[in-house]
Structure 1
Amino acid sequence: MEITSSTMVKPVYSTPHPLVGEKVPLTVFDRAALDIFVPTVLAYPAPAPSNEALREGLLKAVAPYPHLASRLALDDHGRRFLHVNNEGVLLIEATVPVDLADVLVDGRMAAGVEDLYPTLPEENIGAALLQIQLNRYRCGGLVVGISCHHHTADGHSMSMFFTAWATAVREGKDFTTPTPFLDRARTALPGSTPTPVFDHRSLEFTCGEGDTYAVVPMDRIKNLTLHFTAEFVADLKSRVGTRCSTFQCLLAHVWKKLTAARELKPEEFTKVRVAVNCRGRADPPVPMDFFGNMVLWAFPRLQVRDILNSSYGSVIGVIRDAVARINDEYVQSFVDFGGVADANGEELVATAAAAGTMFCPDAEVDSWLGFRFHQLDFGTGAPSAFVPPDLPFEGLMIFMPSRKANGGVDLFMAVAEEHVAAFEQICYSLDWTHLDVTYVTS
């Protein structure tokens, strides 16, 4: 691979954007997000659009999303804010002297993808918050590596931006500039007398207490890709006995199988950290086109014996009940907690895990099932593959709509090496009883 250029792309406004020049405080939702850059890699077979077309489309797409051209900075008290200074988006162009088909096999790169997106900055303050690398292959194929800092936006927001960029390239002069909702203060308005009623200090934030997980060398954590066909999902839903979403039934299924493969003690407890979009759960609701962070987490929890011996419908009920608890009251309590912390000058530190963390007996899941690959068509077709970087935490799972011809769902997950064989042996079994794991006792 050869880097051929590296530039800052800065949108030019005919009429200055009202936010440019502003110093936007991080909301309590921003501070709950991890202080990391999140990479995404998309592959497009030849013929793919030219780098010039992608650059011009990027200029148009970034303009209504000024936070993406901003920088993280510190105020006089050492607190972070977004300086909307239009410093720009980092755009790197690279050439790769092989054909894309030689290195992309069944939706996976033959080697790691770390070289396909910009090197993650060692210091986030002052770094470009959106960084993009265009990797052009000998055949004309393209791999787009995107990295965005999580304090800027959540997954729902970045999906909006990806769609806007693809549309700008595809439509060219006919592109209609979107008008996303950008009022971050609207998402975090404490009550007249802020009164948090839930424990946010040990869930969304850390106070040095709570769960303690082991950290192991990264080579002990293996990344797997599972494909659940549309027929498998339909069969699974038919066994549930009640209406449920694809995400709910697959999470219940994988939670069962992962728990079985781990051979946990029956009396142990296991929980899953489930990301929940809170835009529609606030009172009043925040528009779905809000660009920023507005995610909290639900924690369905069961004893090992119960998750292994309960029906799919029962496990889905636990997941559904946990998610339902992230309601308007919980969201307001979280916002009030942030208001009290600000009034007291308290520095909030998001609950985070180090690379190599073993979440066992727990897990964490994120869903991109609302992601629509056809919306990422730059004009020559949708991406042929979503290629995730290696997941750094054992027990982390990401659900994506599959790119295979028959549809269905792809699951990218990280599993401890000692549990891989057992998990792969049972991950497609629809038997929910303890017959899969003879050591379980009632």
Structure 2
Amino acid sequence: MGRVTVNSRLTVVSSKPVGPGVTHKLSGLDHAMGLHTIHMIFYYGNNPATSFDLDPFRVSLSEVLSMYPAVTGRLIRGEDGNWVVNCNDAGVRVLRATVRTTLDEWLRSADGAEERDLTVWEDMAQDPTIWSPFRIQINEFEGGGIAIGLSCTHLHADPTCATLLLKSWSEAHRREAIAHPPFFHSSALRGRPVLNTKTKSANYYAAKSKAKPPSVKMAATTFRFSDSSIKQCLEEVHESCPDATPFDLLAALFWTSLAPMKSPAPDHKHSLSICIDFRKLMHAPLPYGYFGNALHFSLLSRDREEIDNGRLGHVTGLVHEHVSSINEEECQSVIDWLESQKGEGGKFGAPFRMYGPELTCVSMEHMVIPRGYAGMFKDAKPVHIACHVGNVEGEGLIMVLPSHEEGLARTVMVTLPEEQMAKLCKDQAILRLEPTVVACGRQ
């Protein structure tokens, strides 16, 4: 029997009813992400003497949901066969659970599979009009401590959206202005009159849509790197890559550690799929609060010998150069390619595995961490953040997130085939940075 027990379930609707007939069309990028789900967990410390009362949280959540009609709505099929959110304010499922251990002990001992118990999820029902695509779970630990879990379909939103929804809720609870209000419409995410599908990115998505990654048993481990260890390592690679970011460094570190464990492709190359948020890459930048998918996947490939034998500084430079080369046209061409895949009547093509088949590394460097809720979580940053993506297959997933520690500290969540994870946890190149390992084990 698990350590997490769900004690109650309720539905929270917005404090201001949505007007009749309001709908939200999902973009081609949204449809492409349809096989995946997002599960985010924000852990907060708490005064053990504080008595937890859900009612104030429910009131502030109801207020902020008035700004998010696409979150409280339900999926329907439009006339063209594409998914549309019927903004009928059917509400968000909110669960309350208790955890039979302390927060500190949980972070020391919980594995990836158990951590998912903090974000109970139900796959889409046969009738989606009665199914809530967003779920919030509030988990209380023994002796104080709270974990807020948010699960949603990747069809609706990306991790940035999920984080900002929690951030807006905390701001509403503290009676502050919403710093990044949601923005639901953008012409930039539609195909152009003249489609450009002749780019590296468009070709990569075309290949990805046909790939059939093997399904293997996966394991998950979280590494937390301190500010001092990242600074030291950046100094070591400075001569090779003076402008390296923590993401460049960590992507290179894990890629070079994992590459020797993987069989090279028939062309004798090692490949890394790099995922970034493109909100600020557009000529007319998307607002940070844009609600929908704004992720771009691109492929970095090099000869096997270059990666297997390359120094960390050299590979860091390769990652940095690749990320710096991603521009608006590459991102827009993917939107054009998705548009070109529409069938008769304008229906988008079937979704496919976006996180894979190659080893995929996701940058969340831009992520704003929501502070605690006034009077309940000491108005502080979370003590830990976790982000899981559902239905990951292929060579694995690396997510680089900000840490609760100030400065350059980073949290790296890794999902790999089990046998490779066992080797990675003993890798000396990673261990020399003395990371703290959190919530490790099976997925």
Aligning the two structures, in what range does the TM-score lie when normalised by the shorter sequence? 0.7 to 0.9
The Cα of 1:363 is off from its aligned counterpart by 0.7
2:301 equivalent in structure 1? 301
SS in structure 1 of the partner of residue 235 of structure 2: helix
Aligned amino acid, residue 78 of structure 1? G
Q: 1:236 aligned to 226, 233, 241, which one? A: 233
Question: Does the CA contact (< 8 Å) of 1:60 and 1:177 recur in 2?
Answer: no
2:222 equivalent in structure 1? 225
Aligned amino acid, residue 427 of structure 1? A
The Cα of 1:157 is off from its aligned counterpart by 1.8
Question: Does the CA contact (< 8 Å) of 1:22 and 1:83 recur in 2?
Answer: yes
The Cα of 1:53 is off from its aligned counterpart by 2.1
SS in structure 2 of the partner of residue 235 of structure 1: helix
SS in structure 1 of the partner of residue 280 of structure 2: helix
SS in structure 2 of the partner of residue 214 of structure 1: coil
The Cα of 1:164 is off from its aligned counterpart by 0.9
The Cα of 1:89 is off from its aligned counterpart by 0.8
Shift of the 346–326 alpha-carbon distance from structure 1 to 2, 3 Å rule, reads: farther
Distance in 2, matches of 1:407 and 1:296, equals: 24
Aligned amino acid, residue 251 of structure 1? A
SS in structure 2 of the partner of residue 182 of structure 1: coil
Decide which moves more: 105-114 or 364-373: 105-114
Question: Does the CA contact (< 8 Å) of 1:397 and 1:411 recur in 2?
Answer: yes
Question: Does the CA contact (< 8 Å) of 2:135 and 2:152 recur in 1?
Answer: yes
2:285 equivalent in structure 1? 285
Distance in 2, matches of 1:390 and 1:160, equals: 17
SS in structure 1 of the partner of residue 366 of structure 2: coil
Aligned amino acid, residue 3 of structure 1? V
Unaligned runs of 5+ in 1: 432-442
Q: 1:368 aligned to 344, 350, 364, which one? A: 364
The Cα of 1:112 is off from its aligned counterpart by 0.8
Shift of the 89–410 alpha-carbon distance from structure 1 to 2, 3 Å rule, reads: same
Shift of the 22–347 alpha-carbon distance from structure 1 to 2, 3 Å rule, reads: same
| CA deviation string 1:121-180 (max 9, x = no partner) | 2438332121011223443432222101112211222222111111222x1xx3335563
Q: 1:120 aligned to 113, 119, 122, which one? A: 122
Shift of the 233–338 alpha-carbon distance from structure 1 to 2, 3 Å rule, reads: same
1:418 aligns with 2:419: yes
SS in structure 2 of the partner of residue 427 of structure 1: helix
Question: Does the CA contact (< 8 Å) of 2:230 and 2:408 recur in 1?
Answer: no
Q: How many residues align?
A: 415
Q: 1:59 aligned to 46, 58, 62, which one? A: 62
Shift of the 335–243 alpha-carbon distance from structure 1 to 2, 3 Å rule, reads: same
Aligned amino acid, residue 417 of structure 1? E
| CA deviation string 1:157-212 (max 9, x = no partner) | 2222111111222x1xx333556352424232433333433366663356863x44
Distance in 1, matches of 2:330 and 2:305, equals: 30
The TM-score with structure 2 as length reference comes to 0.81
| CA deviation string 1:86-122 (max 9, x = no partner) | 11111112334x3424741438469712332223224
1:71 aligns with 2:79: no
Distance in 2, matches of 1:208 and 1:410, equals: 30
SS in structure 1 of the partner of residue 55 of structure 2: helix
RMSD (Å), alpha carbons:
3.3
Distance in 2, matches of 1:371 and 1:282, equals: 18
Bigger relative contact order (CA 8 A; separation at least 6): 2
Distance in 2, matches of 1:196 and 1:207, equals: 14
1:161 equivalent in structure 2? 165
Decide which moves more: 298-307 or 138-147: 138-147
Distance in 2, matches of 1:128 and 1:87, equals: 8
| CA deviation string 1:295-322 (max 9, x = no partner) | 1112111122111333334323332343
Shift of the 364–378 alpha-carbon distance from structure 1 to 2, 3 Å rule, reads: farther
Aligned amino acid, residue 291 of structure 2? F
Distance in 1, matches of 2:333 and 2:154, equals: 22
Unaligned runs of 5+ in 2: 434-443
Question: Does the CA contact (< 8 Å) of 1:196 and 1:333 recur in 2?
Answer: yes
Shift of the 414–194 alpha-carbon distance from structure 1 to 2, 3 Å rule, reads: closer
Shift of the 336–313 alpha-carbon distance from structure 1 to 2, 3 Å rule, reads: same
Distance in 1, matches of 2:66 and 2:420, equals: 47
Question: Does the CA contact (< 8 Å) of 2:274 and 2:298 recur in 1?
Answer: yes
Q: 2:151 aligned to 141, 147, 150, which one? A: 147
Matches within 5 A, 1:388-399: 392-393=392-393, 394-399=395-400
Aligned amino acid, residue 54 of structure 2? N
Aligned amino acid, residue 148 of structure 1? C
The TM-score with structure 1 as length reference comes to 0.82
Shift of the 120–376 alpha-carbon distance from structure 1 to 2, 3 Å rule, reads: farther
The Cα of 1:236 is off from its aligned counterpart by 1.7
Shift of the 369–199 alpha-carbon distance from structure 1 to 2, 3 Å rule, reads: closer
Question: Does the CA contact (< 8 Å) of 1:69 and 1:84 recur in 2?
Answer: yes
| CA deviation string 1:321-367 (max 9, x = no partner) | 4334431222332333344444853531233179xx8x5xx311123
1:24 aligns with 2:20: no
